[in-house]
Structure 1
Amino acid sequence: MNVSDTAVDQPGSPGHKSFYYPPGGLLMWIVILLELFTFGIAIVIFMYSGKQEPEVFHASAAKLDVMMGSINTVVLLTSGYYMARAVEYFRAGKKLFKTQLLLALLAGLLFIILKSVEYSHKIGQGLTLGSNTFFDFYWMLTGFHLIHVLTGMVILIWWMYTAHKRTRETALSHLETGAAFWHLCDLIWLLLFPVLYLIY
Structure 2
Amino acid sequence: MAFIILQQPPSLMSAGSAVACWPRSSHLAGADLLGRRSRPRRRATMSSQVHSRASDAICTENVKLPREGTFFEMEMAARDCDLDKYGAISTAAYAVYMETARQEMLASLGVCTGSIARAGRALAISELNVKYVAPLKPGAKFVVMVRIVQIKGVRMLMEHLIATLPDRELVLEAMGTVVCLNKDYRPTRMFPEMANLLNFFCHPN
Q: TM-score range by the shorter chain?
A: under 0.3
Which fold has the larger relative contact order, with Cα–Cα distance below 8 Å and residues 6 or more apart in sequence?
Answer: 1
Quick check: which one's strand share is greater? 2
TM-score by length of 1: 0.26
Quick check: which one's helix share is greater? 1
TM-score by length of 2: 0.26
